[in-house]
Each structure stands twice: as structure tokens, then as C-alpha cells.
Amino acid sequence: MTSFDTDSLSTLIEQTLARAKKAGVTAEIHAHLEQGFSAQARMRQSENLEYNQDNDLTITVYAGQQQGSVSTSDLRAEALADAMDTAIRMARYAQPDPAAGLASADLLAKKTLPIDCYFPWDITPTVAMQLAIDCDTQGLAFDPRISNSEGASVSTHQMLTLYGNTDDFLGHYRRTRHSISSVLVAEANKQMQRDYYYFTAVDHTDLPSIKTIADTAARNTVQRLAPRIIKTQTAPVIFAADMARGLLGNFVKAISGGALYRQSSFLLDRLNQEIFPTWFNLDEQPHLSRALGSAPFDNNGLATYDKKIIDQGVLTTYALDVYAARKLNMQPTANSGGIHNLVVTSGDKSLADLLKQMDTGLLVTEIMGHGASIVTGDYSQGAAGFWVENGEIQYPVAEITIAGNLLDMFKNIVAVANDVDVRGNIRTPSVLISQMMIGGE
């Protein structure tokens, strides 16, 4: 797989920005390029080999407080010149917006820290396909109750991000992302269950073995056989680490600038208030080595930096890009494009220890649907998992609903484990909430 020609693209961006300067406007260009392939196998045979090369470049022009924006995937010099001219015309006809404009030059990332997140995988499609076949074969052989496969895949991708503006800032960084996954189906007593396992990493040497991926997917699938529906009740709930990532994703949405200035967040006006228990901490760490969310600057060109978002339970900052900060009369926090590695301070207990602490309750391993309201904080999701008694898993459960309010759920976190899930930009362990409403029979 070839790498990107960073120098040529940087020159194109500089030339296109010079066109904006000549027209007497300010402008910024954000480009994201991605290339790679994915090999997919099913039922021990190759099924699909998919290559992709995606180019996404956005030009935003400011004529005073008037804004025009054009996106393109065509990176030829003449195409970028046409896109810039179109954006300039759009800006001059747009309505003024007092919050529009480039970031202040003194906030730009004039010196960016390198991120250790570029590890190309020298793997051929043929080898990747054989790994996918091996993974699928291993999973199907794990247990006689594994009756079918929805496929195993091996993928590798390289990304290049560039940002430049008419204040003479131009920066770029490279990233890689590699993954292996397996999805299996088990059958017993004429009932079927599906489950999976995957791992994603910046460095392919951090990926687990094919056997580990396949065996974990198969074990997860078999454990879900013969689920029960429990009675409606209030009980403690543990969100397994990968489910806790989604739970905290709702928090991230609620502290994001767009939701705040639109007054559509349940955390509006909650700055410097206690949201989580006093022992709970959340930090943004944008420069972590080998982390999927690392970046030296955000989509506005601001240098990313470590920050405490929840400090001893207290919400200390929102996540604001330049536009949202102006709308809220606050300072930007270098979060254009999102959070860069939100890290939960983990505990010293294993998941097994957390189950023992819970004693009786629900371990959630799957969430279905989109039942969380960022406006009100009301939370109601379809779920599946395992019922726990005396600190031990007793049987799988399905067709249930878990409900509460996110503010109450955050405050009622009583413990976290040490099983941190590093497969995304929210790095969290399993989380125990003291009580939630569980809807069943």
C-alpha cells in the first residue's frame, strides 16, 4: 500500500490559500485522506476483498463575518482553485455571523508535538485474506454449537490529516488503524444467538492473535445461548467496558459546543458542578502513544493539550471549537472534531471483583437502539447481558430494557474496574451503577 505524497498536497493547499489572500478574504482548508483494504472471509472461505481510498477536503472562506464552505474529493490543482472561487462567491452572498472566522493567530499550533501513531502494516491482501480465513475457521471449530458465521475480517488503513489557513499555518499528521474481527452464530434447542469480538489498534503488533480473536468471539456467542427474560425490577447494573464507552459517549455529546450553544444539552450551565462521584476523574490526553484518538492539533488548527474534564467529580470544562466558544462567550478548548482520548482513571479491581461487589444485579454486554436524550438526560435502551447472584454470573438475559436519567446514573457510579477498553477514543473500564430500572416481564 503506497503512502501519501504529503509535500505535494501541502503545496496544493498553500497555492489554494494564496488564491484566497489574493481575493482579499481569509480561509481555512481541512483535508483528511484515508486508504487501505479489508479482507473478509465467511464459512472458512474468502468472501470479499475491499480496497478504499477516500479523499475529503473542505474549504471554508470568511469575507468578514460572512462564511462560505465547499467540500470536494477532487485534489487536482484546478479543482481546488474552482472550489476556492465557489466558496468565495458563497461567502459574499451569505448572511453575517458574528461567530464566524478563523481562530486567533496566537491560538494556532505554531509548534505541534509529534504523535506516535503511524505504524504501517506491511501485509499483502493475500496474507490478510488467509488470516481472515484462519480466524473464521478457528471460531467455527471452537464449539459444536457454533453453527454459522457472519464473517471474519482483517483490515489495515493509513490516514493523513492536514490543516492550513491564511494566517500561514499549515500542519499535518499521519495515523494508522488496523483491526481483526469475528462474528459467529451459535445454536441450541432450536434457538440461535449471535455475538462477536474485535480489536483495533494503531500498531498491528498490538493486535491479539487470530486464535484469541476467534476464541473470544466464539466464547461470547456460546455464553449467550438460552437467555432468560427477568422480571421488571430496580437493581445494580454493571456496564461492561465496551458498553461503558457508549455510556460516556453520551457525556461527551452533552459537553460538546454544538449541543451547548443550541441549548440542547442536559449539562448546560453545569460547569464547575459535581456531576460524578468525588473519586471519579476523566482526563483528555491527546498525545498518548499508540492511541486511536491522538492528534497534535484540532480541526481549527489549535494545539491539543492535556486537560482535566472531570476533576474529583466536578465538570471543569466543556469541549469547544472556535465557533462554539464564540457563541458561548468562552475560550476554545481545541476540541474541533471531538475529544482526543478521554481517559477514565481506572480502579484496582478486576471485573470479577466488581461482580462480587455488586453481588446481585445485571451485567450489560450489549446495548440496542438509540434511547439516550442529550437534551433531557433521559436514558432508556434495549439491552442484553447476564444476571448475577452472589457475585457470580448465573445465566444470560435478553429482551430487557434499562432506564434512568444520565445525571442520576453518573452520580450513582459506585466503582470502576481495571479492565480498560482501549479500542476507541474513550478509554474506560467496566462501570458499576448502584441502581437502575430494568424492564423485563
66: domain CATH number is 3.30.2290.10
**What's the rounded Cα separation, in Å, for the pair 126 and 133?**
11
**Concatenated DSSP letters of 159-200:** EEEEEEETTTEEEEEEEEEEEEEEEEEEEETTEEEEEEEEEE
109 and 249, same domain (yes or no): no
375 and 258, same domain (yes or no): yes
Give yes or no for a contact between 36 and 122, defined as CB atoms under 8 angstroms apart: no
User: How many other C-beta atoms are found inside a 10 Å radius of the C-beta of residue 312?
Assistant: 13
Nine cell digits for residue 261 = 450553544
**What's the rounded Cα separation, in Å, for the pair 379 and 433?**
14
Nine cell digits for residue 156 = 489495515
pTM for this prediction: 0.95
270 and 320, same domain (yes or no): yes
**What's the rounded Cα separation, in Å, for the pair 59 and 275?**
38
Name every residue whose Cβ is closer than 8 Å to that of residue 309 and which is 6 or more positions away in sequence: 255, 282, 283, 284, 315, 316, 317, 319, 342
Quick one: which H or E segment has residue 326? helix 322-328
**Which single residue is written with the C-alpha cell 449467550?**
224
Give yes or no for a contact between 63 and 25, defined as CB atoms under 8 angstroms apart: yes
208 and 252, same domain (yes or no): no
Nine cell digits for residue 308 = 482535566
112 and 189, same domain (yes or no): yes
Structural domain ending residue among the three candidates 159, 194, 223? 223
Residue 1 lies in a domain: no
Residue 402 lies in a domain: yes
pLDDT tens sequence for the chain (441 residues)? 456 789 999 999 999 999 999 999 999 999 999 999 999 999 999 999 999 999 999 999 999 999 999 999 999 999 999 999 999 999 999 999 999 999 999 899 887 677 999 999 999 999 999 999 999 999 999 999 999 999 999 999 999 999 999 999 999 999 999 999 999 999 998 899 999 999 999 999 999 999 999 999 999 999 999 999 999 999 999 999 999 999 999 999 999 999 999 999 999 999 999 999 999 999 999 999 999 999 999 999 999 999 999 999 999 999 999 999 999 999 999 999 999 999 999 989 999 999 999 999 999 999 998 889 999 999 999 999 999 999 999 999 999 999 999 999 999 999 999 999 999 999 999 999 999 999 999
**What's the rounded Cα separation, in Å, for the pair 275 and 68?**
38
Residue 198 lies in a domain: yes
Residue 354 lies in a domain: yes
Structural domain ending residue among the three candidates 162, 196, 223? 223
329 and 195, same domain (yes or no): no
Q: Among residues 96, 92, 135, 102, which one has the least CA distance to residue 17?
A: 102
121 and 145, same domain (yes or no): yes
How many residues are present in the chain? 441
Nine cell digits for residue 321 = 471549537
Residue 114 lies in a domain: yes
pLDDT at 3: 62
219 and 236, same domain (yes or no): no
- Any idea what the Cα angle at residue 319 is, between residues 318 and 324, rounded to 5°? 95
Nine cell digits for residue 305 = 493539550
171 and 281, same domain (yes or no): no
Residue spans of beta strands (DSSP E) within 294-368:
307-311, 314-315, 342-344, 361-368
Q: Among residues 332, 315, 306, 243, which one has the least CA distance to residue 275?
A: 315
pLDDT at 80: 97
201 and 143, same domain (yes or no): yes
How far is residue 335 CA from its own chain's centroid?
A: 14
Structural domain ending residue among the three candidates 189, 223, 257? 223
3-state secondary structure of 54: strand
219 and 231, same domain (yes or no): no
Name every residue whose Cβ is closer than 8 Å to that of residue 126 and which is 6 or more positions away in sequence: none
**Which single residue is written with the C-alpha cell 500542519?**
171
303 and 291, same domain (yes or no): yes
Domain ranges, residue 395: 227-441
Residue 308 lies in a domain: yes
Residue 399 lies in a domain: yes
Number of domains in the chain: 2
Give yes or no for a contact between 382 and 368, defined as CB atoms under 8 angstroms apart: yes
